[in-house]
Structure 1
């Protein structure tokens, strides 16, 4: 593995910034420390923060200029200072500490490989400690064509944050090829959910708290795996990725249009049917599926564009009280009704602890409680779940990714997909992404979450459900009339 060369002052205006007690960028002053918000702490409290990662894999039809890519990425780290920090696990309140080596740390490495897929799998599964390692890293796997993998620790930001980083890298790359680098504007806006909450009136905040409390009762209706579907190993872990043909995505989009809903709702229904019919998992009274909602959508448009790299997303749960033999369209209708109701009430995705804990009154009540106590209490309370058979299941949708990737010096992107973290227990999370209509589903898991054959069986079931949907959408061939004697 060969690290990219460090930029000199003559190569980039970004490298002219030098460390001091407080970082100065023109008129902007960047502090050495940033507070860790409740969403950051929630991601860390999940445990196994080293495997809490978000990835985007990009395949090109040629080779890109990795030196310019490194420069473009380094400018993003300057613009989004949280990426140049490390997470400090303080006993009272964790915080982000600016790294001393943020100008020289390896952000982009190039690896020549005759087995690019093996190299990619090793990079995806390698741990990333937020207390030691950089928050963002890019690997260029070089053969006849380049495969690029963006890798970000989830403690620093969510999937929309990584999409924003990629867009910024693309912009910086193209600008750097046509002219001199421009010193980036440092984003010092708050990363806390309070930025979202402050736009809500008191009545809306009370409804959010009420929705959160009501939702806690329903979370007991979780999926229950069988004992032979779960292994013992809680280390390591693998990614299971399934790419479907474009026609399958078109069929799912047609169903979404016919039901006046979204692709996310259709995929949640497919996931529900797969787990009930192909895996045979059971639950109490009703079974739930969840999806991740970007809370930036609650911000005004101008503030949404300026939102920094942060964890500003949260899960929204839908509960399906239907039997295993319910049709896909029935499941879509049940989930869509709940989805629309939450959206209309402006509660979609807001029954999330990070939102509740960011409210001023709750924050004031928790002020004397040390982080270390909460960490130990959470570990004690979830110990049985981490080694049990109960699972919460959900799916996040990255959407269509093609617009994120312009041509680099005539080198085009031929495929792109996203993956989520490697989960060890309790939560079974799937990630969906699209590239020019082709759908990719991914799952990261250790044996303690589900055995490899179970993970493969789930992805097989999702493929079968979607392929049957594609077949049912095909027009029936017209009957031909045979003329005797011809």
Structure 2
């Protein structure tokens, strides 16, 4: 047994050294740009445009062989919507959130520019079908023109007497919580238009630096650089995973669901151990990952967790739909034959310590600093980075992965209504990330918990992704029964 721990620890130390070298170039890039004076750009050339923040830049760059940038919401209604009113509601939503009608402009200091042909764009389309599942599947797999398509795409899919509303959001301008906000905005506008003599007066909302300024002011932070810890958000690919040494640009999505009843039991059980539902889900993720490959015991294993930075705002809301998420690395030593309740207790204690240190703040400051880097240098770094690693990921990382959890929580405390119609089922799908990344997104609506993972064809088999979700689901159910 001692030999197992010793060998694992030696391998872990070698991995840390390798990945630390891997990120040194990026640290040098940050230091270089902060030491050199930044040239000003001509504000007059950008009349009518919107600045891109560090969150936008980071997510946008992921389009270059790292992720597909699509966050998608799928909603089933209990009846039919009025398509003409829906189209009108979508157009009005673009007026309210102008960023959704823009494209990202790659410049020394990137910005958002309104689409030139915005009046000619079909933001909302209609499809009638006898095979609703295939239609949803096709929508999910549809590619989006990342250069000229708008940031939002809505499709009403009709089958029989009921509709499914499907929405694509571009992660370059909007995170998972922002997607939830857009769903509610669209529902509110449609409901007002559906009322007798109903009208909606749109008031444009512009995302800027005020959200960051409000957050730092609320936390009493006046000097971000003084508290920044370089490399604190670096995550080690420590988990064995069955990657395949090939790949394609075809995206696939696997979904698993826990229906009503389970979530209530999970919540009660977690509360009995002074833990949260998020702690419980993270525990199931850790334990499932342990079963996916050769177990690694006695060394810290990592799972990054996304953090909604809106939690630090006084009203918990940004001034407009936008990216406002950070992340924190969780690290847990895996123990042999540990029961679920003991793993949960350790995860809960770990998360309590993390929460005392303002989770997500370090990554947020890091993204702030990204705004000061010349975009061409940032892009060149990531392009060189991915060209070295993505095509031979299993060789480069030694069959390891970085599993990440993004738990969006409850999408709406009450059922969402579009006029007289109610959304009876809903879930959100994550962006598809390339190896070694592995993003699990969870969301809850109407007491149903949805687990979703996207992946690229031939980088990992469908059977192994489905197996992972099955293991997580089994841990979620058996955990409260243990």
Give the TM-score of the pair, scaled to structure 2: 0.82
Cα deviation, residue 206, structure 1: 5.7
Cα deviation, residue 262, structure 1: 1.7
Whole-angstrom CA distance in 2 between matches of 1:340 and 1:168? 33
Quote the residue 1:79 is aligned against: 96
Whole-angstrom CA distance in 2 between matches of 1:56 and 1:330? 35
The answer to whether the 8 Å contact 1:292/1:349 transfers is: yes
Whole-angstrom CA distance in 2 between matches of 1:281 and 1:36? 42
Please point out which of 269, 286, 306 is paired with 1:255: 269
Whole-angstrom CA distance in 2 between matches of 1:309 and 1:294? 13
Residue 284 and residue 251 in structure 1: after superposition, are their counterparts in 2 closer, same or farther (change >3 A)?
same
The answer to whether the 8 Å contact 1:83/1:134 transfers is: yes
Please point out which of 301, 312, 315 is paired with 1:298: 312
Quote the residue 1:152 is aligned against: 169
Residue 125 and residue 355 in structure 1: after superposition, are their counterparts in 2 closer, same or farther (change >3 A)?
farther
Whole-angstrom CA distance in 2 between matches of 1:31 and 1:77? 19
Residue 44 of structure 2 corresponds to residue 44 of structure 1: no
Cα deviation, residue 390, structure 1: 2.8
Residue 354 of structure 2 corresponds to residue 350 of structure 1: no
The answer to whether the 8 Å contact 2:69/2:432 transfers is: yes
The answer to whether the 8 Å contact 1:208/1:350 transfers is: no
Whole-angstrom CA distance in 1 between matches of 2:469 and 2:421? 32
Please point out which of 184, 191, 212 is paired with 2:202: 184
Residue 402 and residue 160 in structure 1: after superposition, are their counterparts in 2 closer, same or farther (change >3 A)?
closer
Residue 357 and residue 444 in structure 1: after superposition, are their counterparts in 2 closer, same or farther (change >3 A)?
closer
SS in structure 1 of the partner of residue 149 of structure 2: coil
Whole-angstrom CA distance in 2 between matches of 1:273 and 1:466? 10
Quote the residue 1:308 is aligned against: 320
Whole-angstrom CA distance in 2 between matches of 1:203 and 1:32? 30
Quote the residue 1:244 is aligned against: 258
Whole-angstrom CA distance in 2 between matches of 1:188 and 1:407? 26
Whole-angstrom CA distance in 1 between matches of 2:66 and 2:111? 15
Cα deviation code 1:59-90 (max 9, x no counterpart)? 11221112212212211111111001011223
Whole-angstrom CA distance in 1 between matches of 2:221 and 2:317? 25
Superposed counterparts of 1:380-395, under 5 Å: 380-386=384-390, 387-388=393-394, 389-395=399-405
Task: Extract unaligned runs of 5+ from structure 1.
Answer: 1-21, 23-29, 473-486
Whole-angstrom CA distance in 2 between matches of 1:224 and 1:38? 32
The answer to whether the 8 Å contact 1:234/1:424 transfers is: no
Whole-angstrom CA distance in 2 between matches of 1:294 and 1:71? 31
Residue 448 of structure 2 corresponds to residue 444 of structure 1: no
Superposed counterparts of 1:299-448, under 5 Å: 299-301=313-315, 304-345=316-357, 347-352=358-363, 354-358=364-368, 366=372, 369-386=373-390, 387-388=393-394, 389-403=399-413, 405-447=415-457
Cα deviation, residue 95, structure 1: 1.6
Residue 184 of structure 2 corresponds to residue 167 of structure 1: yes
SS in structure 2 of the partner of residue 161 of structure 1: helix
The answer to whether the 8 Å contact 1:244/1:438 transfers is: yes
Residue 110 and residue 202 in structure 1: after superposition, are their counterparts in 2 closer, same or farther (change >3 A)?
closer
Pairwise CA RMSD: 2.6
Cα deviation, residue 37, structure 1: 1.3
Residue 451 and residue 430 in structure 1: after superposition, are their counterparts in 2 closer, same or farther (change >3 A)?
same
Cα deviation, residue 48, structure 1: 4.2
Task: Extract unaligned runs of 5+ from structure 2.
Answer: 1-42
Residue 87 of structure 2 corresponds to residue 70 of structure 1: yes
Residue 284 and residue 122 in structure 1: after superposition, are their counterparts in 2 closer, same or farther (change >3 A)?
farther
Cα deviation, residue 195, structure 1: 4.8
Give the TM-score of the pair, scaled to structure 1: 0.81
Cα deviation, residue 247, structure 1: 2.5
Cα deviation code 1:358-405 (max 9, x no counterpart)? 15xx85xx4xx4211221122323444422333211221222235464
Quote the residue 1:55 is aligned against: 72
The answer to whether the 8 Å contact 1:223/1:283 transfers is: no
Cα deviation, residue 231, structure 1: 4.6
Aligned length, in residue pairs:
428
Quote the residue 1:100 is aligned against: 116
